[in-house]
Amino acid sequence: MQYKIPRGTQDILPEQSRRWQYIEQKAHDLCKRYNYQEIRTPIFEQTELFARGVGDTTDIVQKEMYTFEDRGGRSLTLRPEGTASTVRSFVENKMHGWADQPAKLYYIGPMFRYERPQSGRMRQFVQLGVEAMGSADPAIDAEVIGLAYDFYRELGLTNLKLVINSLGDTQSRTKHREALINHFKPRIEEFCVDCQSRLEKNPLRILDCKVDSEHELMSSAPSILDYLNEDSITYFSKVQKFLDDMEIDYVVDATLVRGLDYYNNTAFEIMIDGEGFGAITTLTGGGRYNGLVEEIGGPTTPGIGFALSLERLLMALEAQGIELPVTSGLDAYLVTMGDEAKQVAPKLLHQLRKQGLTVDGDYMDKKMKAQMKAANRQNASYVLILGEDELNQNSVMVKTMASGEQELVPLDNLVQKIKS
Ligand code: HAM
């Protein structure tokens, strides 16, 4: 039997994992600067959390969840996104009682969706997500959007397009919902079965349908922006003003509705233009979710956040030819000659590592020449040659790889020599 990796997943091999580590570190650093703190929640949760949180008319909940029963008969689901879990944790741990509000949290971790795999669409992917809960200040919307935007810009990406929209507050949405039902109802049988069932449950979802996207009623559908009440208009214009002040360019697109149910007021996506990126151009999605904490059993608490996948980010970096400053290499490689030197090697390597040096040696009983080649392949700055002569003199022959120079260095001075 030949085992194969599951469809829509990938192995990240060492050459790639260096790039992953680099962008993960960037994410940690950036979130720290914005004063967001890391939260780690389980990979699986009660299924009901996502059905309620993400919304049971969404594609995610209807078609894409990895749901299973555990041995105790509980229905569990591999998390398809991180917001519902973060909000669950917020409620469970009573973070609304924290002295500092909003609670500013972020996470980096794998998410699972049973989607049709293609480039940029995986069944297991890693999201960086940011959630701020407890503040209804439009400044925090701008902060969250700014954080996502800065992340891409600091990594050197260009041709980014930030698209924003307002989905309005409950009152605005109720009016818009009625208008959508009236608009689609007379010809709903021309739409796919999913849309037909969405009509009464969640007509906004119809606008996001991939099957019916070309239908003439789509482009003439009532725009949410025409149904925003005074409060929603004021809120949206404040978010825009803050983005202007921060010199972040954006376009307003009234058709942006997002694929999850919990949004209201601000919704946004960051897309990327340009060749080499294929059909999938959305790098980040997010928005405000003022009703979600309550929906999940907590006190009325506003929230906003976003998530982006590191897979799509890496694709974008590659498409734009951006090299990340990742290096691999050793400070030193220990080449041993003869049995006695071999016996001393583990202790010497251990001492050097304890001093903070990145070192390796031979475990394959290679000849000296082959050991030298290994040192070269592994980008060692120095080769430390240890044979009988060196042992007798309590020293090591140190070869500087860049210049080819060799020098006999007493063991006591070795660390200093390498560090210099
Ligand atoms: P989402 O739009 O479903 O939102 O996903 C956010 C991002 O995750 C996408 O823009 C994309 O970068 C990435 N993504 C989604 N599905 C896949 C996939 N199958 N393969 C690779 N990347 C993918 C959310 O998940 C919300 N929780 C975002 C949010 C946080 N809203 C508020 N707070």
Atom of ligand 1 nearest to the CA of 83: 27
What's the CA-to-centroid distance between 191 and ligand 1, angstroms?
26
The partner residues of 315 in beta bridges, in order of sequence, read none
DSSP 58: S
C-alpha torsion angle, residues 263, 264, 265, 266 (rounded to 10): 0
CA 228, CA 222: separation in Å to the nearest integer?
12
C-alpha torsion angle, residues 106, 155, 21, 269 (rounded to 10): 40
Contact yes or no for 107/89 (Cβ under 8 A): no
Six-digit token string for 290 = 């003022």
The partner residues of 383 in beta bridges, in order of sequence, read 333, 399
The Cα-based distances of 374 to 166, 336, 351, 415, 417 in angstroms read 59, 12, 21, 21, 22
The CATH number of 14-169+229-319 is 3.30.930.10
Residue 364's pLDDT is what?
97
Atom of ligand 1 nearest to the CA of 123: 19
271-286 pLDDT, tens digit per residue, is 998 776 666 689 999 9
Residue 93's pLDDT is what?
98
Sequence-ordered strand ranges (E) for 39-96: 44-46, 66-69, 75-78
Contact yes or no for 398/409 (Cβ under 8 A): yes
Helix (H) or strand (E) holding 272: strand 264-272
What's the CA-to-centroid distance between 307 and ligand 1, angstroms?
5
What's the CA-to-centroid distance between 282 and ligand 1, angstroms?
9
Q: Which residue among 81, 104, 160, 269 has the greatest number of ligand 1 atoms within 8 angstroms of its CB, and so is best to mutate?
A: 81
Q: Which residue among 39, 54, 86, 260 has the greatest number of ligand 1 atoms within 8 angstroms of its CB, and so is best to mutate?
A: 260
Amino acid at 343: Q
Q: Which residue among 104, 114, 127 has the greatest number of ligand 1 atoms within 8 angstroms of its CB, and so is best to mutate?
A: 127
Q: What is the DSSP string of 60-93?
A: HHHH--EEEE-TTS-EEEE-S-SHHHHHHHHHHT
DSSP 270: E
Q: Write out residues in the chain with pLDDT < 70, as ranges.
A: 276-280
Within its chain, how far is the Cα of 44 from the centroid? Answer: 18
Which residues are within 8 A (CB) of 230 and not within 5 positions of it... i.e. 6 or more apart?
none
Atom of ligand 1 nearest to the CA of 305: 33
DSSP 222: P
Q: What residues does ligand 1 touch, defined as CB less than 6 Å away?
A: 81-83, 113, 115, 120-122, 125, 127, 129, 131, 259-260, 282-287, 305-309, 311-312
CA 287, CA 269: separation in Å to the nearest integer?
8
Contact yes or no for 139/304 (Cβ under 8 A): no
CA 39, CA 93: separation in Å to the nearest integer?
12
What's the CA-to-centroid distance between 178 and ligand 1, angstroms?
28
Which residues of the chain are in CATH 3.40.50.800 domains? Answer: 332-419
Buried b (16+ CB within 10 A) or exposed e, 101-117: ebbbbbbbbbbbbbbee
Beta strands 66-69 and 406-410, pairing class: unpaired
Q: Residue written as tokens 């741990």?
A: 93
What's the CA-to-centroid distance between 378 and ligand 1, angstroms?
38
Q: Residue written as tokens 């307002």?
A: 166
Indicate the fold that domain 332-419 takes in CATH: Rossmann fold (3.40.50)
Which residue, judged by its Cα, is nearest atom 14 of ligand 1? Answer: 309
Atom of ligand 1 nearest to the CA of 115: 19
What's the CA-to-centroid distance between 361 and ligand 1, angstroms?
44
- Report the predicted TM-score, pTM, of the whole model to 2 decimal places: 0.94
DSSP 379: T
CA 148, CA 261: separation in Å to the nearest integer?
21
What's the CA-to-centroid distance between 80 and ligand 1, angstroms?
9
Q: Count CA within 13 A, CB hemisphere, residue 275.
A: 1
Residue 280's pLDDT is what?
67
- Residues of the chain with pLDDT > 90, as a percent, come to 90
Q: Residue written as tokens 């039902």?
A: 181
Indicate the SS3 state at residue 69. Answer: strand
Residue 261's pLDDT is what?
86
What's the CA-to-centroid distance between 401 and ligand 1, angstroms?
46
Which residues of the chain are in CATH 3.30.930.10 domains? Answer: 14-169+229-319
Q: Which residue among 105, 306, 310, 315 has the greatest number of ligand 1 atoms within 8 angstroms of its CB, and so is best to mutate?
A: 306
What's the CA-to-centroid distance between 145 and ligand 1, angstroms?
14
Contact yes or no for 180/201 (Cβ under 8 A): no
Which residues are within 8 A (CB) of 56 and not within 5 positions of it... i.e. 6 or more apart?
62
The partner residues of 104 in beta bridges, in order of sequence, read 132
CA 315, CA 308: separation in Å to the nearest integer?
12
Residue 209's pLDDT is what?
86
CA 170, CA 202: separation in Å to the nearest integer?
14
